[in-house]
Amino acid sequence: MFEALFEGLGLIFQMHVLGYFALGCIIGIVMGAIPGMGGAIGLVLLLPFTFSMEPVAAFALLLASWASTSTSGAITAVLLGVPSTAASQATVLDGYPMAKRGEAARALGASFTASAIGGVCGAAALGISLPLILPVILAFESPEQFMLGLLGLTMVGSLSGQSITKGVAAAMFGLLLATIGLAESQAIPRYTFGTLYMLDKLPLIPVLLGLFAIPELMELALNNVSIARTGKSGDAAEGLRQGVRDAFKHWWLVVRCSVIGAYIGMLPGLGASIVGWVTYGYAKQSVKDNSLFGQGDVRGLLAPEAANNALRGGALIPTLALGIPGSVGTAILMGALIMHGLRPGPSMLSTELPMTFSFVWMIAIASVVATLILLKTVNQVVKVALLPGQLVVPGVLLFVFMGAWLGDASIGAWVSCAVFGVVGFLMKRGGWPRPPVILALVLGEILERSFQISTRIHEGPGWLGRPIVLVLLLIIVLTIFLAVRGVARDKSAGTVAAGEASEKNPAVSLPFAVLLFVGFACAAYTALDWPPSVRQFPLMISGSGVLLSLAVIIRDLLHLLVTKKALGTWRVTLQQASHDARLASALPFFAYVFGMIMLTLLVGQKIALPLFIGLYVVRWGNYRKRVALAYSLGSWAILVFFYDQVMHLLFHPSYLALWLQPILPSSVPDWLFL
């Protein structure tokens, strides 16, 4: 065993392998920092270049890139409040409030250091567990997967702010969104409204970016402020050192969350979906004072970042040992294994054990190298927090909408992103928590599939008596109890709510609750015509949603009546609510966004996006036309030379392209603007 361990390390320390390894780290850092990209996209881009390479060099490039993306994903989550991938969602909750306080350098230093520790722990878990973990993985069948997904969903209590009712109702909304598309049991479309776009489920990335990115960008645009609300980011070098000290000060929390992340990552199909939320909820419930969680508590940043990197090592175990990829990224890596003549399974634990241990070393070292590179660049990166908001917003919107396009290359992805931007704005202004929606959307399909399989195999609820199911059920009950007790304690202590779902505006919350009530009721009525196996899950969700949204409606109505009594008239009450929510200023912003989507149908993305950015900088930001032109040309260059020529994306076929291509001279490359 130890001989194979050190032989695997020796495979890495070859000059050409180290060169590919360094290149992979740099590519992974860039990919992780761009919204919507992530490790899987990086692997897809790099895989063709490895066809003619030897296996060790090929996997040095691939694994270094894959491991580094988790580390750099914290950049956009902290600085912009935009999760670049689903795995970095929980980082936003405390990372972005720290950046708004001017502590961006501290937040990034802490997250990068926690990522390095998590990566090493994940790799260690991979090395130690390879010969031992197979029985555990095989013990997790559909019943255990359902309960583990349900455990992830119970983290809603930790993400619901001061209202668990709103949090659970938001989770029901996310679960209902997860039922869109063809049903698991029969090929019957559900809630597609006759569109092909929603036939294959609602894509996660456009919804994620719409709910989180657009409302935060709107805040910068409407208030014309920098990310650091103080106007200064403090001493970046000292903040960086403080962040590193934070990670080592709370080392036991970091290690515990790393271990949790590694072992959850071993479970195919679930790991990346819930690991950030599970460890965030665990951290919030396990520390003595969690009153600052969601407001910029560094511990709420350390927990998910450590787990996200540890996940990589754990996720490789079922891929290497069983040939069962648990995510898109590990599926690509398994394809690379087969392409290079390595067969996943017992051979990777016997004859190919040195190669397997080289993978362990690659993940551990890549996490450390990526952290060192990023720590060196923090002084420059945090300057983004001081830029004027009107200059940050259009550039980030470019990456947000192109990230949504990567999630599902159709105009429907942009429409979804914009629509959920409106939903996210209303939820934020109305005090509704947004994380439960995304968490439920991710878990909905897994929960429905594993529930139906469990029920069919065991011919009823007999699977509830399985030992691991009972243990997980006990943990779920304990989690719910701790979450309810925490919220009750905060209310009794008179703690002022801050962070996610902290805004109190019943005049905005009430219409949203009414829309949810109507949506749940219509969903239930529609589901009555479907076969039992198809309607079972939607009816459970919509029935619960109707009751929860009704409870919120009653409470919001009572609060609104109290507010009206204090202000005197309904007119004054509604005017004050509109002013507090900045509704009048939000309408032009959304008009710009939807206008850009309509223009894309006519002239295509390579013209519509730069034109939108130029108009925004001039008309909304009040900058000179020279600045707007430079910004537009830079955006056009990114679209053409990165997204088109490097990534070879398929852009929307606009009406202009259909008309212009037949008459365009062959000497003019149409990829420059079509």
- Express each pLDDT in 84-127 by its tens digit: 766 677 888 888 888 888 888 888 888 888 888 888 887 777 67
Tally Cβ neighbours within 10 Å of residue 449.
Answer: 18
Q: Which residue has the tokens 């056009």?
A: 636
Model confidence at 521, pLDDT cuts 50, 70, 90, reads very high
Task: Kindly state the average pLDDT of the residues 582-601.
Answer: 89
What pLDDT, on a 0 to 100 scale, did the predictor assign at position 387? 79
pLDDT, tens digit, for every residue of 630-640?
999 999 999 88
Which of the two residues, 540 and 459, has the higher pLDDT score?
Answer: 540
Residues in the chain: 674
Sketch the domain layout of the chain as residue ranges.
2-382+391-504, 505-567, 589-672
Per-residue CA distances from 672 to 397, 631, 668, 669 (Å): 21, 17, 9, 6
Task: Kindly state the average pLDDT of the residues 372-383.
Answer: 82
Task: Give the residue from 80, 631, 217, 598 showing the smallest Cα distance to 639.
Answer: 631
Residue 233 has pLDDT above 60, yes or no: no
Calculate the average pLDDT of the chain. 82
Which of the two residues, 381 and 139, has the higher pLDDT score?
Answer: 381
Residue 522 has pLDDT above 90, yes or no: yes
Residue 579 has pLDDT above 90, yes or no: no
What pLDDT, on a 0 to 100 scale, did the predictor assign at position 532? 86
DSSP assignment letter at 324: -
What pLDDT, on a 0 to 100 scale, did the predictor assign at position 230? 60
The C-alpha atoms of residue 662 and residue 44 are separated, in whole angstroms, by 32
Residue 598 has pLDDT above 70, yes or no: yes
Residue 63 has pLDDT above 90, yes or no: no
pLDDT, tens digit, for every residue of 402-430?
888 876 778 888 999 999 999 999 998 88
Global pTM reads: 0.83
Residue 160 has pLDDT above 70, yes or no: no
Per residue, what are the HEC states of 27-70? Answer: HHHHHHHCCCCHHHHHHHHHHHHHCCCCHHHHHHHHHHHHHHHH
Model confidence at 335, pLDDT cuts 50, 70, 90, reads confident
The C-alpha atoms of residue 370 and residue 120 are separated, in whole angstroms, by 12
Model confidence at 132, pLDDT cuts 50, 70, 90, reads low
Residue 495 has pLDDT above 80, yes or no: no
Residue 496 has pLDDT above 70, yes or no: no
Task: Give the residue from 249, 175, 24, 28 showing the smallest Cα distance to 539.
Answer: 175
pLDDT, tens digit, for every residue of 606-618?
899 999 999 988 8
Lowest mean pLDDT among 513-517, 519-523, 641-645: 641-645
What pLDDT, on a 0 to 100 scale, did the predictor assign at position 232? 59
